[in-house]
Amino acid sequence: MPRDTPATPPAQETVMAQHYAPRLHHRPRPQRPGLLFALVNGVAFGAHLLLASFAADLLATRIWGQTTIGMLALLAQGALLLLTAALYDRSAGARDDARKGDRDAS
């Protein structure tokens, strides 16, 4: 069936209104404590391993009685491991609590 409406000129068909599209606001990326945990302890382990391989005399140096630099470095590495594990556990618990609070609010 033919229409009685006049056809629009081709120049007007190609003109389209551009709509304003606001920028998306992304939430900041949460910190990744697992990456920090692995990085800090990996660097400490690597440094200790390099010292044990190439500076054994330095690590065998006695400081006080039977206490050597190597033993103190090993104790410091263990303390660092426990500290970063505790921080990782606390941040994971805080994230779990925040998620639980979001679920309860919905």
Q: What single-letter amino acid sits at 18?
A: Q
Report how far residue 54's alpha carbon sits from residue 99's, in angstroms, rounded to the nearest whole number.
Answer: 48
CA 47 to chain centroid, in Å, comes to 22
Instruction: Give the C-alpha distances (Å, rounded to integers) separating 18 from 8, 9, 15, 21, 63.
Output: 20, 20, 9, 9, 75
- 12: confidence class by pLDDT, cuts 50, 70, 90: low
More confident residue, 100 or 2: 100
Beta bridge partners of 62: 68
Write out pLDDT tens, residues 19-76: 666 677 766 766 666 777 888 888 989 998 998 899 888 888 899 899 998 899 999 9
